[in-house]
Structures are given as structure tokens and as C-alpha cells.
Amino acid sequence: MRILETVAELQRLADAERAAGRRIALVPTMGALHPGHLSLVKEARERADRVWVSIFVNPTQFDDPKDLSDYPRTLDADLAACELAGVDVVFRPGVEEMCPGDGRTTVAVAELCEPLCGRSRPGHFRGVTTIVSKLLLAAKPHVAVFGEKDYQQLAVIRRMVRDLGFGVDIVGVPTLRESDGLAMSSRNANLDPEARRQAVALVRALDAAEAAVISGETDRDALLARARAEIARAPLARIDYAELCDPDSLAAAPVRLTAPALLALAVFFEPGDPDAGSRVRLIDNRVLPVARERGGLSA
């Protein structure tokens, strides 16, 4: 496994691999790798001859300096996991390599960036799309693989790649979950034991809303009330947002649902011990199978 640190050397390798007729798959990450990330690596391996993983904690996508400083960094373990998973190249650039102090150019996607995390974290997606653009230009992959847990991010990147003509196939991989249903996330490592126990409120909220839809409920506010009630059962939880949206446009769902709708959640969990750490923000989502027509659920 090779470890590269500069855009120039990664581009040279990409040119050589492409000239040899080999397909490249890129898995962009911010490190603190867990089995969910490794499921992306597995998907990448099935789609390309070479699998490259980038590890870069992107400072431009954090709106809170404390959140950036608290983000887990486990480089040695990440490199070992990549080698064990058969990754061919790890790209681990420094901040100055990806975010030069004299940089003046950013990439932004209108509309899709505005609701949900875009509203609660101003500038977040501009930071994401700018750095992902740089990674795609550096690695020159044929395919890039992302997790569906970050549903809005995946939608934004797909739109960016289409609009700017990157010529990269963007693949989404279903969320991998812990045994109790909590979505795997690097941020889970920052939960203290009590907050971790209560964090399953997110998946309970998704389950409750889905069960209501299957039972015939289509009232948007009623479904959101079901989800919020489950989260409220966790004393350490503070809702950032709980919204129902169109799965494609991310526009707010109508008052009466007539088609599948994305239930998107973002919840802060305070530490069970106030002296033990900081609050942790978790996200999760599910497309609810609302029937398009009377008489049954969508496929």
C-alpha cells in the first residue's frame, strides 16, 4: 500500500493507471475509519482495479471550531485498516495542500445545499464540495463511493459532478449499523456511555415513522410528531432538525404525503457526565415507503 501526500504525485499516479487501462475508485473519508467505511472500500473494489482512500479532516466544512478540534483522529489505526482491506493507495494530504492560505476559489451547489444541514451549518456544504472537487481532480477516479448516511451530502455531490461534468460515477452505499441499529459514524466514538445508550433514539424515531406509514398514516405533521416523540424519550437528546423532504430535490414534503419521502434527522446528544466531554451531533435518515397510489406501498 502506497501513502501519498501531495496532489501532484497522486495525479501522476492517476495518469499512469489510466494509461495502463486500469479503473480507479476513490473513497473520500475524514479518517476515524469504522466498518461502515470499509463497506465503501469493499464496494469500490467490486467496481475498479485500484482502490484509493483519502484521509483528510476538512476544516472548511466545520462551522464550529470545537467540533473540528473534537473530531476523532486515528491515523495509525486507519492506515492499518486500509492495508488489511487491500487498499492500494492512501492519500493523506496536509491542510496547506488542500486549503492553501492564498486560496480564493470555492465550489457551491445552489438549492440542494440550503435545507437540513445546510440551514443549521452555514457554509458546511461549500466546504464539502470544494474539497471533494479537489479530491476528484487529484485522484482522477472513474468512480467515487460515499455512504448514504450522509444523504444530503451524497445528493449535493451527485449534482455537482453532473453540473460540472466531472465524468465520475458517484455510488452510494447503504448505511451500516451497529447491532442496536445506531448508524455507524466516526462521531460515535465521542459519545460517553450514557449518551451512546440514548443515541438509539434516532433509529427508534425512523422505525416509528415507518411503522406509521405502513399502517396508512400520510399526514406529514403526524409522522414528524411520532419521530420527535421517540427522540424526546432520550433526556440527553436535543433536536437540531427532524424534517420530511422530497428524496430528490430535498424540498419540504407536502402536508399530505402522496409519494415516498425522506425523513432526515439531526440530533445533538449532551454528555451524560457534563465533565466528561462535549455534545455530539448525529444524523440519520430513511426514505419512508409512502404509497404513490391507493391500495399499496411503493416498491
Which positions are catalytic?
Answer: 37
Looking at residue 162, the DSSP 8-state letter turns out to be H
* Phi–psi pair at 256, nearest 5 degrees: -115, 115
Helix (H) or strand (E) holding 65: helix 65-70
Among the listed residues 278, 118, 288, 120, the one whose alpha carbon sits nearest the alpha carbon of residue 208: 288
Q: Measure the CA–CA gap between 195 and 62, rounded to whole angstroms.
A: 22
* Phi–psi pair at 92, nearest 5 degrees: -130, 75
* Phi–psi pair at 282, nearest 5 degrees: -120, 150
Looking at residue 257, the DSSP 8-state letter turns out to be -
Q: Measure the CA–CA gap between 270 and 51, rounded to whole angstroms.
A: 37
Residue that the C-alpha cell 455530539 belongs to: 280
Written as nine digits, the cell of 137 is 481532480
Q: Which three-class secondary structure state does DSSP give residue 64?
A: coil
Question: Which strands, in side-by-side order, build the sheet including 237-245?
Answer: 237-245, 261-269, 280-288
Give first-to-last CA distance, the chain, whole Å: 42
Q: Are 149 and 143 in contact (CB under 8 A)?
A: no
